[in-house]
Chain A
Amino acid sequence: MGDRRQHRILVVSDFFYPNFGGVENHIYYLSQCLLKLGHKVVVMTHAYGNRSGVRYMTGGLKVYYIPWKPFLMQNTLPTFYGTLPIMRNILIREKISIVHGHQAFSTLCHEALMHARTMGYKIVFTDHSLYGFADVGSIHMNKVLQFTLAEISQAICVSHTSKENTVLRSGLPPEKVFVIPNAVDTAMFMPAPERLKSDEIVIVVISRLVYRKGADLLVEVIPEVCRLFPKVRFIVGGDGPKRVRLEEMREKHSLQDRVEMLGAVPHAQVRSLLISGHIFLNSSLTEAFCIAILEAASCGLLTVSTRVGGVPEVLPDDMIVLAEPDPVDMVRAIKKAIAILPMIDPQDMHRRMKKLYDWHDVARRTEVVYDRALKCSDQHLLDRLSRYILLTHLSSKFQRRVQRGIALQRASGDYSAELS
C-alpha cells in the first residue's frame, strides 16, 4: 500500500454537530476514520448559534462554521453564488482535492458541489434519504438533485434501496453509484454486563414522535400488545407532535404504569436507555438505513421493525423481526419476537455486530470511491453546459430508458428461469 495516495477532502453539509442525527454522526465518524487512514479531512457547515469560525475536534478534525445563518430546518438560504467567495477561499487554503457533499436537502451541499465543479474539483455526493416521485416537494427536490448530480464524479448511497431510489431520481448511471452503509460505534453501545431478568419484558422505542416515524402505528400497537402480554412494559423515548396522541392512548387504556414516556433523550443517554430493554421497536414509515436499529442490535436487543425502505438490508434475518407497516402484522411480529427472546444472547449479538459493522471498513470503502473519483476524466465547461440543456429533456428520455431497461431485465430473467 506504499503508493496509496493521500486525499485532501472537504466534507460539506448543513448538518453537523452540535446538531444531532444520522447524517451528523456519519460525517463525524467517517472523518475520524479517514484521518486515521492518513487523509486530510476538513468539514464545512453553517454557523450554529454563535458557533461560527474555525473549530478543531478530536483527532485534529478541522471544522469551518461559515457565517451563514440557517433559515429553515437547519438549511441555509439558497443563494447560488453567495457562498462562492468563502468556498473558494477554503478550497484553495486547504489545498483540497476532493469535495464530498452530504444529504440531498442540504442547500449548502448543493451550492458547494456546484462551485467545486466549476473550479475543476472532483466531487462525491452521499445520499442519506429516500424520496418519492409524486408530491410537489419531491418533484422539486429531484430536479435540484438532477442539476447537482449531472456532473458528479461518484455518488454514494447508504443502502441498496437508496441506490435504486437515487438512480431513478437523478438519472445517474448505476455503475457510478456505490453502496456504503452507515456503521455503528460498537464500543459505545455495549450490552448490559449481566442479562436482564426475564420476569417482565421491556420494549424500548426511541424515535422522534412524528408521522414519518410511525408514531400513529405505535398508538395502535401498544394497547394491543399490553392486552395480549401482561408482562410487557414499554419505554418510549422521544418527543414530537404525536406525543399528545400517545399520551391520550395511555390515558384511554389506563396504561400509565406500563407505558413510560421519557420525552427527548440526549444521544449520550441512548445506550443506558437501550440496555434497560429486551426488544427494540422501530415503526418508521420510511427509512433509508436506520442507525437506531444498529445501535439497538449492538446493545444486544432484538429488533422488531417495519419492512420499509432499506431496513430489510440492515441486519441478518435472525437478528431482526420484520413486519408490514400495519398494526395487526406488527403485533404478530412482537409476539414472535417475545417467543424467540430466550434464544437471544446479548453478548453474542454484540460480538456479531462488531464483525458486521465497522466505521473503519466504511472509511476504507469510501477511500476506494475517492480513488475512482480522481480517475474520472475532466469535463470541459462546454460539455457541462450542454448537459444542463439536456437535463430539461432528460426526464422523459430517462423514463423511456428505465422502462426499456426493466423490460429487458424481465425478459432476461424469464430466459434464465427457463434455462434452469
Chain B
Amino acid sequence: MGGSSSPTKSRWKKVAYGGMQPGYDDNHTDESFLEDMVMNANVVKRDVMKVMQDSISISQYLSIVALVGVVWTYTLNYMLDENSLLLIDVGLLVSGFLVLILTEEMLSLYLLFHYFLNIAFFIMGLYILAPIYKTLTRSISSDSIYSVTVSLLIIHLFLHDYSRSAVRAPGTWKNPSLTSCISLNASVVASVFVASRLPSWVNVFAIMLFSLLVFLFAPLVTYCIRKYSFRLHILFSVGLMILSLGLVYVLHKLLFVVFLVLLIFVTIVCPYWLIMIQEYKFEINGPWDEAKLCFDITD
C-alpha cells in the first residue's frame, strides 16, 4: 500500500474490513466468486434393481394388510367360523415364534420366556375385554363402521414406518416416531371396530387376536427374516403377494385389479420414476451452510 504506485493493481482480497478496496468497486466480482461452492456433494447413485428390491418390503406389507382385510371380510360374511380363526391364530403365533427362534442367534431363553409371558398377559387381557368390544359400536350403523375402518387402514398404510420394523428387534430400543405411533394406533382401532360387528364374543376374541398379532408382530417377523437372508425375504414377499392376490381375486374382481395395479405401481413404476427424476437432483453447498455438529446432542 505505502505509496507504491505500481502499475499492477493490488490483488483483490476476499475480506470485509478496511473499507473499499483500492481499485475495485464494491460490486466487483472476483474470479474466485463461488469458488467454494460444491454441487451434488452427497448424492447417492441409485440402481434400478436395488431400488426395486428395496420396494419389495412395501409391497410385502401391503399384501399382509390385504390378507388381514380378506380374513376380516370372510369373518364378517360368516364364511370363517371361530374355530378356524382360532386355528389361524395359533398357527400364526407358532410360526412367528419359530421364525424368531430360527433367525435370531442372540435369543436367550430368558428373552423367550419374557416374550411368552408378555403374550400370555396380552391374550388374557383380550379374552377378558372381548365381551366389551362386542357391544362397543352397537348403536352405530355398520356402513359408517366399515368406512371408518377403511379410512383408518389407509392412514395406517400411509404412516407405517416401512424403513424399519415398527416393533424393534430385541436390543435396539429407540423412540418410535410420532407417525409410526399414529399408524399403529389406527390399525388397532380399525381391528376393534371390525371385531365389534361380530355376533359372538369368541369370534370377537379370535379376530382381535388375529389382527393384533399381525399388526404388532408382522413387522418384527419380516424384519427378522430380512436380516437373516435377503433371498428368503424376497421369496417370502413374493409368496405373500401371490397368496394375497389369489385371495383378493376370489373375493372381488375389481378389487383384484386395483390391488394388482397398486403392487405394480409400488414395485416397478415408482423405482423407475425415482431413477428418472434423479438426474434433476441439484444440491448446492458452500460456506454459507449452517455447520453441522460432529457429535450427538443428548438432551
Contacts and interface: CB of A to CB of B under 8 A. Distances in A.
Contact of B26 (A178, A212, A216): A178
Interface residues of A, number: 61
A224 interface: no
Given A131-B288, A164-B286, A325-B291, A316 B17 contact: yes
A60 interface: no
B105 interface: no
Contacts of A162: 288
Interface string A371-412: 000000000000000000000000010010011011001001
A149 to B, nearest CB: 15
Interface string A207-222: 0000010101100100
Contacts of B33: 164, 174, 409
Of residues B35, B289, B290, which shows the largest number of chain A Cβ atoms within 10 Å of its Cβ? B290
B19, B25, B33, B291 — which one has the most chain A CB atoms within 10 A of its CB?
B291
Contact of B14 (A131, A160, A361, A413): A160
B235 interface: no
Interface stretch (A232-240, A264-272, A305-313, A343-351): A305-313
A179 B287 contact: no
A175 B287 contact: no
Interface residues of B, number: 34
B43 to A, nearest CB: 12
Given A313-B16, A315-B17, A165 B288 contact: yes
Given A168-B284, A180-B26, A212-B290, A355 B18 contact: yes
Contacts of B288: 130-132, 161-162, 164-165, 286, 288, 309
Given A365-B26, A403-B39, A132 B19 contact: no
A216 B297 contact: yes
Interface in A127-169: 130-134, 154, 158-162, 164-165, 167-168
Interface of chain A: mostly helix, strand, loop or mixed: helix
Contact of A168 (B15, B20, B34, B280): B34
Interface string A282-299: 000110110000000000
B290 A313 contact: no
Contacts of A161: 286-288
Given A175-B29, A326-B294, A309 B17 contact: no
A288 to B, nearest CB: 8
B34 A356 contact: no
Contacts of A325: 291, 293
Contacts of A285: 290-293
Nearest to A160: B14
A369 B35 CA distance: 25
A227 interface: no
Q: Which interface residue of A179, A217, A358, A403 has the most chain B CB atoms within 10 A?
A: A179
Contacts of A164: 33-34, 36-37, 286-288
Contacts of B27: 154, 174-179
B143 interface: no
Given A174-B33, A402-B34, A327 B18 contact: no
B37 to A, nearest CB: 7
A51 interface: no
A150 to B, nearest CB: 18
A414 to B, nearest CB: 12
Nearest to A244: B299
A357 interface: yes
Contacts of A316: 15, 17
29 contacts: A130-B288, A130-B290, A131-B288, A132-B289, A159-B16, A161-B287, A162-B288, A164-B34, A164-B37, A164-B288, A165-B286, A167-B34, A174-B27, A174-B33, A177-B27, A178-B25, A179-B16, A285-B292, A286-B289, A286-B290, A306-B291, A309-B287, A314-B17, A326-B295, A365-B19, A403-B39, A405-B34, A409-B34, A409-B35
